[in-house]
A and B are shown apart, each in its own frame.
Chain A
Amino acid sequence: MKLTLAQKMLWAASALALIAFAALAWTGGLRAGGTGEAAQEAFRPEFRLEDAADRPVTSEGFRGRYQLVFFGFTNCPDVCPTTLSEVAQVMDGLGSEADRVQPLFISVDSERDAGAELAEFTSAFHPSILGLAGSPEATQAATESFKVFFAREDDAAAPDGYSMAHASALYLIGPDGDWLRQYAYGMPAADILADLQNRL
């Protein structure tokens, strides 16, 4: 069987379409999964929250510095201390460059976390970590702008009868406010430090 030129071109076109579709499905799938470290489209997370002294803190206030952001809650005994201790190691490892990175702990538990409670928690890990919290609406808006998930989940075996499910990665925001990447939970502090040092 001999294909005409038109038939060959049609076959080539459909092969190209198939490749393009596969590529789209693949990158789309990565984005939906949220655990990959694949590059995402640039976006600029924004928040308007309060620090432990109830002073307003906004994302714009950190322009010119990197932000290392973690979402969690202070009644979290396992994952949150593990990650914040990694942040502490990273900050110590940065040495004289530490002032170019602001670590932020954003509480997703607006019911319980605010004020001195928050400072007591973050300062247990590293003095540079700034704890932020806000109203349920402000918390929701902050998480949406970072494209991260959280939910209050009833759990009779947790303090106050509930626990918070939350995104467990660390997020890196650049000096111009752009989302740069995430560091998946469990990534060794040394690897996070090396990545940061490459950027500074």
Chain B
Amino acid sequence: MKLPVAAVLAFALSAGFVQAEPVRQGDLEIDAAWARASIGSSRPGAAYFTVRNLGDEADRLTGLSSPVSAMPMLHETTLSEGISRMAHVEAAEIPAGGELTLEPGGMHVMLMELTTPLKEGATFPLTLTFEAGGEITVEMPVFGPGATGPAE
């Protein structure tokens, strides 16, 4: 009965019933991780997550790496007077007891130079490097190209 299991899993992924469990390491917790299916592999993909800092010292997200992208970058969309722009963010702070939220229309990981298209229903590892917290690898579920949140 391998096929039904795969079918149920595929359905669950597309319907958003599978939500990645939060990943805790040290004082940091990564939650609500998801990526958008890419359209082919020539255009950048986008990935989002929330980092909670449960400790009493601020930390910084300083690096990203993933086998699916030769150039993952932290970007922030800014909206001003109805114009949207993207700007590269070198590092993002997670205040003590606070959180850093990556979400559509705000900060996001732009996955450039994809080595493979990001297909809906698949997952891929994304490693986040923190100044104090070290490296944390999260398995990113891929939702549809029109997904707008981790529960899509």
Residues of A at the B interface (CB closer than 8 Å) are 33-35, 74-79, 81-82, 84-86, 88, 117, 120-121, 124-126, 149, 153, 155-159, 163, 165-169, 182, 184-186
Chain B residues, Cβ within 8 Å of A74: 39, 43
B36 touches A153 (CB 8 A): no
A124 touches B105 (CB 8 A): no
Residues of B at the A interface (CB closer than 8 Å) are 36-37, 39-40, 42-46, 73, 75, 77, 79, 81-88, 104-105, 108, 110-113, 145-148
Complex Cα distance A75/B45, Å? Answer: 9
A156 to chain B, nearest CB (A): 7
Q: Which of A78, A149, A157, A165 contacts B105 (CB 8 A)?
A: A78
B111 to chain A, nearest CB (A): 8
A88 touches B84 (CB 8 A): no
Chain A residues, Cβ within 8 Å of B148: 82, 85-86
Q: Report the nearest A residue to B113, measured CB to CB.
A: A159
A77 touches B110 (CB 8 A): yes
B83 touches A159 (CB 8 A): no
B81 touches A34 (CB 8 A): yes
Chain A residues, Cβ within 8 Å of B45: 77
Q: Which of B44, B79, B81, B145 contacts A75 (CB 8 A)?
A: B44
Given contacts A33-B82, A78-B110, A159-B44, 15 further A-B contacts (CB under 8 A): A34-B82, A35-B81, A77-B43, A77-B110, A78-B104, A78-B108, A79-B77, A86-B148, A117-B42, A124-B37, A157-B73, A157-B88, A168-B79, A168-B83, A185-B82
Q: Report the nearest B residue to A189, measured CB to CB.
A: B148
22 contacts between A and B (CB under 8 A): A35-B81, A35-B82, A79-B105, A81-B104, A81-B145, A82-B105, A124-B37, A124-B146, A125-B145, A125-B146, A155-B88, A156-B88, A157-B73, A157-B88, A158-B86, A158-B88, A159-B112, A165-B85, A168-B83, A168-B84, A169-B82, A185-B105
* Interface residue SS majority, chain B: strand
Chain A residues, Cβ within 8 Å of B113: 159
Q: Report the nearest A residue to B42, measured CB to CB.
A: A117
Chain B residues, Cβ within 8 Å of A121: 39, 43
Chain B residues, Cβ within 8 Å of A117: 42
Q: Report the nearest B residue to A33, measured CB to CB.
A: B81
Chain A residues, Cβ within 8 Å of B110: 77-78, 157-158
B83 touches A75 (CB 8 A): no
Q: Which of B39, B82, B87 contacts A124 (CB 8 A)?
A: B39
Chain B residues, Cβ within 8 Å of A33: 81-82
Assuming the A-B contacts A77-B45, A78-B75, A81-B146, are A120 and B84 also in contact, with contact meaning beta carbons closer than 8 angstroms in the complex?
no
Q: Which of A35, A84, A163, A167 contacts B86 (CB 8 A)?
A: A163
A78 touches B88 (CB 8 A): no
A185 touches B87 (CB 8 A): no
